[in-house]
Amino acid sequence: MQARRTSAEVNRVASTSAPWQLASAYDNARHLLTLRRLVWDDWNLEHIARPGVTRDDVEAVCHHDPVLYRENYKERLVLLGRTQEGRVLAVVLGPVPNAPDGTYEPFTARPADRTDRRDYDRLKGGAEP
């Protein structure tokens, strides 16, 4: 289990001047997520690298109109979205405790499986990048 970050560690984040607004249609309800910052460290960079995913891939998914696919345990969110190269990824983010709203940590990311890609296309209305 990963230790909680201190406020100094939370300051080492990727940020953007405008927050990402994500709308979702999971569980037949509309949800809106404001994603202001992603917190990166050696652990999550190494973890996402195992299935061949990079930090740039995760940030591209978050920046390019992802689908908020579902919420799993510990308030973690599963996003589906496309990289710059058009590959669909599943990205799991969790809120950073004691950090400003909209601050999330990527826990894992992987290429989307067949079911994820089908659901992504369905939720996006069959739209291609």
What is the distance between the alpha carbons of residues 70 and 8, in angstroms, rounded to a whole number? Answer: 30
Backbone φ and ψ for 23, nearest 5 degrees, come out as -110, 150
User: Largest Cα–Cα distance of the chain, in whole Å?
Assistant: 43
Rounded CA gap, 15 and 30, in Å?
A: 25
**How far is residue 106's CA from residue 50's CA, in Å, rounded to a whole number?**
14
15: which 2 tokens? 């940020």
H helices of the chain, in order, are: 7-10, 42-49, 55-63, 114-123
The answer to whether residues 55 and 40 touch, using CB atoms and an 8 Å cutoff, is yes
Q: What is the pLDDT of residues 11-42, one digit of tens each?
A: 344 444 344 444 443 443 445 677 888 999 99
- pLDDT single digits (tens) 51-109: 999 999 999 998 887 888 777 777 788 999 999 999 999 999 999 999 998 899 999 99
Find, among 41, 55, 42, 125, the residue nearest to 89 by Cα.
Answer: 55
The answer to whether the pTM exceeds 0.85 is: no
